[in-house]
Amino acid sequence: MAMPARPPETVAAYLAELRQALKGAPAGLISDALADCEDHLNNEIAQNPERKESEILASVVETYGTPEEIAEEYRDMETTISTPFPKSETPDERRFGFFNVVSDPRTYGALLYMLLSLATGIFYFTWAVTGLSLTVGLAVLIIGVPFALLFIASVRVLSYVEGRIVEALLGVRMPRRPPSEPARDGLLNKIKDAFTDVRTWSSLCYMLLMLPLGVTYFVIAVAGLGISLGSVGGSIYSLITGESHIQIDDAPYVEHMLHTAPGLIVFAILGTLLFFVVLHVARLIGWVHGKIAEGLLVRL
């Protein structure tokens, strides 16, 4: 690739061009690329304090590469990394058919995430509320500032861990490196960076939001699977034993139908269709939650 007529003269300009070159790539990939390049450039500047930043950037472009070249390398590297959800070569109209949802691994990853979300949602919410309460309560004491910084650091670590869970179960590309801190000296600067970083507050928002979302996801998964699988299993068992074991209150006509073989067969078919509906709902929830995680946990 030809050298640009005027290479970036500052780290911010280099990162801006890299962000532009990676436009359209997954947010997690862009975040990793920006963080890696920022660390590399800052290290180069720190090792050459006698040189101007523009001179260092010009040298970096020759040895490290232009933003466009780095972007291309990251895109190529992304295609060689194995993921739990490889791209399918099946045409979209077949891959997303009503019954083909059963063969999509994202479906089961989303179901597992929905079942785990109650526990993780309670933990995140409790951690966030307790940490915020103690931070405010200790603000008047000398230990208030160190505690606040420690709490913010824990929120960032938990957001990274949640990102790994989201990528593993939902197939959404999330940052694969722990969050880095700005290399600034002085306690006041560190405090300012911690409290002005949008990532801090968006991650806290995500942790608070996970409680209602986790309860909703868990109820949908358990109720959907319980009703659908229970309907199929109960109907098959009743057909085998010759005695209906399905009770439906306030619906005597339906319950009477379930004491007949045709009624049990129809009920089993409806339960099977409901099971596939639950799988589609799970996949949709996984897609929507992946977007929420990208928006709140990934800093660009």
Q: Per residue in 217-229, pLDDT tens?
A: 999 999 999 999 9
| Highest-pLDDT range among 55-64, 178-187, 192-201, 285-294 | 285-294
Claim to verify: residue 29 and residue 143 sit in the same structural domain: no
Q: Which of the pair, 276 or 185, is modelled with greater confidence?
A: 276
Claim to verify: residue 48 and residue 103 sit in the same structural domain: no
Give the predicted TM-score (pTM) of the model: 0.81
Torsion sign across C-alpha atoms 24, 29, 35, 39: negative
Number of domains in the chain: 2
Claim to verify: residue 114 and residue 263 sit in the same structural domain: yes
Claim to verify: residue 208 and residue 72 sit in the same structural domain: no
pLDDT for 163: 94
Residue 215 in any domain: the answer is yes
Do residues 33 and 71 lie in contact, with contact meaning Cβ atoms separated by under 8 Å?
yes
Burial class (CB in 10 A: 0-12, 13-18, 19+), 231: buried
The last residue of one of the domains, among 80, 96, 127, is: 80
Residue 3 in any domain: the answer is no
Per the structure, the complete domain to which residue 106 belongs is given by: 87-300
Claim to verify: residue 191 and residue 113 sit in the same structural domain: yes
The last residue of one of the domains, among 25, 47, 80, is: 80
Residue 4 in any domain: the answer is no
Residue 55 in any domain: the answer is yes
Between CA 271 and CA 265 the distance in angstroms is 10
| Lowest mean pLDDT segment, chosen from 111-120, 132-141, 170-179 | 170-179
The pLDDT-based confidence of 197 (bands split at 50, 70, 90) is confident
